[in-house]
Each structure stands twice: as structure tokens, then as C-alpha cells.
Amino acid sequence: MNKKNYINHLSGQLTAGQIDRRQFMMSALATGLAVPAALTLAGQAVAAAPKRGGLFRFGVAHGSTTDTLDSATSENHFTLINGYTFGNHLTEVDNNGQLIGELAESYESDDAKTWIFNLRKGVEFHNGKSFSSEDVLASYGHHMGEDSTSAAKGLLTAVKSIKADGNHRVIFDLESANADFPFIVSDYHISIRPAGDMTSGIGTGGYIVQSFEPGVKSVLKRNPNYWKEGRAHFDEVELISIIDPTARQNALMTGEIDAMDRVDLKTINLFKRDPNINIMDVTGTAHYTFPMRLNVDPFGNYDLRMALKLAVNRQELVDKILLGYGAVGNDHPISTANRYHNSDMPQREIDIDKAAHHYKKSGHSGKIPLSASDAAFAGAVDAAQLIANSASKAGMEIEVVREPSDGYWSNVWNNDAKGWCACYWGGRPTEDWMFSAAYTDDTKWNDTNWKTTDGAKKFNRLVKEARAELNEAKRREIYYECQRLISDDGGAMVPLFNSYVSANSKSVAMGEVAANWDSDGAKCVERWWFA
């Protein structure tokens, strides 16, 4: 389980000149890494030898005056990045999408039901308190219980109990097996804070919060005692909330900031021309969906759903809504960045004849309302219109209904009043997490209400099965089938996976970039350095 860590460690040594290239290769290959991969890693490490120092200013497209340092209500990308900068979690997703231990040195389970996390020793919080299992218990308690208002509450409902076994070992007892539980604990809400102080921004992370002005900026200083090696290179960090894309891009072009997220796709071709700027795009797990609710007429009808899915010109959407910065979806939420992406399944293309055939078979007639708002994702209304446009060729009449942005998530999405709407999913690092967030019959966010069809029943059974399954190959097989079921029978139309497009000044250097979140897995501050 610790292979990755070990390689990181080696890379660090190589970079620092403690070992030479040959030693690195030898050791890396010994872990079972393939030769080319090891070569790449070595190349990266040398070419981009991280340097310590400098003030890193990062322009974040989010931020609100209601932001806090409490990870429980972390709602946007600003608090997400900020949280990762000063705090650690039990596990983390590394820049290759692999799960590695963070504050947990290692973790294990025999039945996927009882999970044991062995905690790292010698780690100190910013306030000097040394990290131990009581902090884990307190931190998890913050997100659980009836009174908790944490956004992670739903994630942890399966946790029956948490026990400390000595100072550096914690045992989680789950209601039911979940092979992906270690992934869940990497969720950005579940930051580990010192017992008794969940909200003031004390963590174990690479940077210490100096000042935090909600909706404005967060100023951090390097943690001199940071336990992680080869991380946290900058001396000082300023995270600045710049919501207006033009202002953000201007700030980067005029050197007011060193990096930024969410490049405005509309102007990206011009933006690229700035010689001092690197544009970076990563296909992640985030996707745009158009969930159809099976319990609302007429979407209970399989043929109608299929007709609509076949009538979408996915490539056009990628080209126009994402200006090419994204990938077509196959009507299921699993991205190529996920471990078990079903690459065997053929890509669904627009097929007007087939769509018309299914539509005819469905027996439906009349307008089909499609609710959209740019609150769902940028360009949602445009996308809905493009869908309406292509569907009309198959004889289907889609009526695009523009909904108010404010309250969209409460009043439109996942609401029986609207049968079909636009939606955005940030993606989840694991298949199970994604499925159980939005597709299983026990989640409240099952926005398609795909619960009762035979396909759905089978799907739910398979997901449970996979959770308890620790064998990789078997899990892969199961998840492939799950993806097929959603794609075929499910209510979700998933035409697009959007890329994370960010930009940085050429003075900033980095290794391979993670795909699980925007901005190098939202950990750019910890991972990047000044060239």
C-alpha cells in the first residue's frame, strides 16, 4: 500500500541529491514500477527539482464572505484549497490518482467493514499539540451526530463507531462493507484538527494560517515543522479570491498573481498568446449531466430516455460549451481519470434514426420540458438549447425552461417538480463513492430516481457486492457492468466531462498534475514551487 509513498520519498532523495539516478531507478523498479514509468518519474524529479522559497499568490475563482476555516461547511473551491493548504486528512489522493496515506501511515481491513488506520507519529499541529488518535475522534465527531451541520455528514452515515486503539491507531466500524472507505476519508471536509478546536484553522498542514479574510484572501506561512517531505516549497502563500474571470486573468497577466484556476474558456485562445503564461488542462472526474427523473412522466419510459440519449450531439457540446476543453461522456459518471473506467463500452454517438425509432416506440408526444440555469454549470442554458436543437431532428420537441440561478439546487435539481434538468457533478475519486452519491437507491441525491427498474435493482446489488470485494479484478468487472447499466437503463444523460483549465505564470513549476480536483487536486500550494 505504501509503494507510492516510497517512490515519493525516493524522488525527494533524488532531488535533494541524496541518491543518484541509478539508485533511484533500482529502488523504484524494486517496488514493481515499470521501467518507462520509473524513467518518467526520474526525469520529472530532476528536470523540475523543487526549490524552496518565494511568495506564491494564487487567484481563486471562488470565495465568499461567509467562508470559514471550518471544513464542515467548506462549500467552494477557495475553502477547499485553503483547507488542503493548512490541514491534512487521514488519506490523500496523489497526483496520479492513487490513494496514499497522509496522517494515516497505513490502513487495512480484512472485511472492508472494520478499518484500521495506523496514525503517523511525531506530527504536530500548528499550535504545538502533538497529533494523536483523540484528534481523529474529535474531528470525525464534528461531522457526525444529529446536530452536525457538516456537508460530510452524509458520507459518514455508514460509520457505526470509531474507536481509538492507543494513541496512534483508530478503528472504524462500518454498518456495511465498503472497500473504498479509505478514499472517503480523504474527502476535503474531513480535515483533521486538534481535539477541541475544529474551526479556528489549526491543522497539521504545510502552511500556517496567518490571516484569513473571508471572501478576500488567506495569508499563510510555511510550517517549519511540516512532516511531509518534498512538499510545501513556498515560504509564503496568499490565496486571493478573484471571482470575476476577467479580473483574474488580468491579475495573472499583469503579474499580480502567480497562478489561477478556472480560465475563462471563451477567451482562452487569446489568453494563450500571453508569452508568460502556461495554460494547463486536465481531464478530471467532473461532469455535466442532465438527470431525468424516472418517477416523473414521461421519463419512466425506457425508450424515451434512450431516444433522448441518442439524440445528443456530444462532440458539438464539447466543442461549443467547453470549447474543446473536455471529453464526451457515455451517460455514466465514471471518468477516464477513475480507476475502473469502462473502456470496453462503445461510445454512444448521435444517431437520429435510432433516436427516432426509440421515440416512436415510446409512444410519447408533445413537448418535453428541460430545466436549465447557468447555476448548474456555465453554459447550461446554451447546452440545453443545443440538445433541443439536435433532438428536434429526431422529431422530439424539447422546451428549454430557464430557471432562476438562485435556489436552483433546492428548487429545481433533484426535485419532483422538474422531471429533467441540468446538473453538475464534481466527480468522486472512486466508483463506489460516485455511485453511492447519486445513483444508488439509498442516497438522497439520487437525482434520477433510478431505483425500481430491473437494471436499477441489479445495479444496487452490484454496488453493494463491489463494496465488500477487495479483489481488484473482480471489482473492475462489477464496476464495468454498473457503468453499462447506468448508461443503458439509467436516467442520467452524461454528455460531457469538463476539463479543469487553469493557468500559471511560467515562473511556477510543478510535477505531474492530479486530476481529482482543479488546481492539482486543490493541492497546488503544497506541491508546486518557483522554478
Partner 1 sequence: MTEKPNTYSALSEVGAIRENRTIFANIKISLLKSPLTARFGMVVILIYAVVAIFAPLIAPYGEAEVFPIPYAPWSSEFIFGTDQIGRDIFSRMVYGARNTVGIAVATTLLAFLIGGSLGLAAAINRSYLDLVFSRTVDVLMAIPQLIFALVLLSIFGSTVINLIMIIAILDSTRVFRLTRAVSLNVVVMDYVEAARLRGEGLGWVMRKEILPNILPPLIAEFGLRFCFVFLSIAALSFLGVGIQPPTADWGSMVRENASLIQFAKYDLKAGITPLLPAAAIALLTVAVNFVVDWFLHKTSGIRDE
Partner 2 sequence: MHSIVKTILERLGLGVLTLFAVSIIIFSAIEMLPGDFGEAILGQRATPETVAAFRRQLGLDQHPFVRYIQWVLGAIQGDLGTSFSGRNASGVDRSREVVGLIAPRLWNTMFLASMTAIIAVPISLALGITTALFRNSVFDRSVNTATLTTISFPEFFVAYILILLMASLYPVFPSLANVDADTLIGERVYRTALPALTLTLVIVAHMMRMTRAAIINLLASPYIQMARLSGASQLEIIIKHALPNAWAPIATVIAFNLAYLVVGVVVVEVVFVYPGIGQLMVDAVRTRDIPVVQGCALIFAVTYILLNLIADIIGIITNPRLLHPK
Note whether 245 binds partner 1 by CB under 8 A: yes
Using the minimum distance from each CB to partner 2, give the nearer residue, 228 or 262.
Answer: 262
Chosen from partner 1, partner 2, none, partner binding at 386 (C-beta under 5 to 8 Å by type): partner 1
Backbone angles phi, psi at 18, to 5 degrees: -75, -30
| Distance of closest approach, residue 419 Cβ to partner 2, in angstroms | 18
Per CB under 8 A, the segment of 82-90, 132-140, 263-271, 327-335 that binds partner 1 is 263-271
Note whether 146 binds partner 2 by CB under 8 A: yes
Contact in structure between 266 and 382 (CB atoms under 8 Å): no
| Distance of closest approach, residue 261 Cβ to partner 2, in angstroms | 15
316-335 residues in contact with partner 1 (CB under 8 A) are 319-321, 323
CB burial of residue 225 (10 Å; 0-12, 13-18, 19+): middle
Cell of 98: 492513487
Amino acid at 257: I
168-227 residues in contact with partner 2 (CB under 8 A) are 196-200, 211, 213-217, 219
Chosen from partner 1, partner 2, none, partner binding at 385 (C-beta under 5 to 8 Å by type): partner 1
CB atoms within 10 A of CB 317: 22
Of 67, 56, 68, give the one whose Cα is nearest residue 201.
68
Cell of 64: 465568499
255-274 residues in contact with partner 2 (CB under 8 A) are 256-257
Backbone angles phi, psi at 478, to 5 degrees: -65, -45
**How many angstroms separate the CA atoms of 447 and 348, rounded?**
22
Note whether 441 binds partner 2 by CB under 8 A: no
Where do we find the cell 433516436?
355
The one among 114, 250, 278, 315 contacting partner 1 by CB under 8 A: 250
Report helix, strand or coil for 456: helix
116 strand-pairing partners: 108, 171
The one among 21, 266, 457, 474 contacting partner 1 by CB under 8 A: 266
Note whether 254 binds partner 2 by CB under 8 A: yes
Using the minimum distance from each CB to partner 2, give the nearer residue, 230 or 333.
Answer: 333
| Distance of closest approach, residue 256 Cβ to partner 2, in angstroms | 5
Contact in structure between 251 and 243 (CB atoms under 8 Å): no
Of 324, 343, 271, give the one whose Cα is nearest residue 498.
324
Contact in structure between 239 and 58 (CB atoms under 8 Å): yes
Chosen from partner 1, partner 2, none, partner binding at 279 (C-beta under 5 to 8 Å by type): none
The one among 161, 269, 365, 392 contacting partner 1 by CB under 8 A: 269
Amino acid at 336: T
Note whether 6 binds partner 2 by CB under 8 A: no
104-108 and 114-119 strand pairing: antiparallel
**How many angstroms separate the CA atoms of 408 and 438, rounded?**
17
Using the minimum distance from each CB to partner 1, give the nearer residue, 23 or 246.
Answer: 246
CB atoms within 10 A of CB 31: 13
Chosen from partner 1, partner 2, none, partner binding at 64 (C-beta under 5 to 8 Å by type): partner 2
Contact in structure between 59 and 252 (CB atoms under 8 Å): yes
**How many angstroms separate the CA atoms of 318 and 393, rounded?**
19
| Distance of closest approach, residue 78 Cβ to partner 1, in angstroms | 18
**How many angstroms separate the CA atoms of 524 and 501, rounded?**
13
Q: x/- site string to partner 1, residues 274 to 313, per CB under 8 A?
A: x---------------------------------------
CB burial of residue 283 (10 Å; 0-12, 13-18, 19+): middle
| Distance of closest approach, residue 438 Cβ to partner 2, in angstroms | 10
| Distance of closest approach, residue 347 Cβ to partner 1, in angstroms | 21
| Distance of closest approach, residue 164 Cβ to partner 1, in angstroms | 47
Q: x/- site string to partner 1, residues 198 to 237, per CB under 8 A?
A: ----------------------------------------
Cell of 24: 533511484
The one among 31, 40, 211, 246 contacting partner 1 by CB under 8 A: 246
Amino acid at 11: S
368 strand-pairing partners: 398
Using the minimum distance from each CB to partner 2, give the nearer residue, 1 or 247.
Answer: 247
Note whether 65 binds partner 2 by CB under 8 A: yes
Of 515, 525, 522, give the one whose Cα is nearest residue 98.
515
**How many angstroms separate the CA atoms of 99 and 149, rounded?**
27
Q: Which helix (H) or strand (E) holds 36?
A: helix 35-47
Note whether 59 binds partner 1 by CB under 8 A: no
Per CB under 8 A, the segment of 114-122, 264-272, 279-287, 517-525 that binds partner 1 is 264-272
| Distance of closest approach, residue 68 Cβ to partner 2, in angstroms | 5
Note whether 389 binds partner 1 by CB under 8 A: yes
| Distance of closest approach, residue 34 Cβ to partner 1, in angstroms | 41
Of 531, 526, 530, 529, give the one whose Cα is nearest residue 231.
526
Per CB under 8 A, the segment of 234-242, 283-291, 342-350, 365-373 that binds partner 2 is 234-242
Of 94, 151, 102, give the one whose Cα is nearest residue 123.
102
Query: Footprint of partner 1 on this chain (CB under 8 A)?
Result: 245-246, 249-250, 253, 264, 266-267, 269-271, 273-274, 319-321, 323, 374, 379, 381-382, 385-386, 389, 402, 404-407
Query: Footprint of partner 2 on this chain (CB under 8 A)?
Result: 64-68, 70, 72-73, 75, 141-142, 145-151, 153-154, 196-200, 211, 213-217, 219, 240-244, 246-247, 250-251, 253-254, 256-257, 406-407, 409-411, 413, 424, 444-445
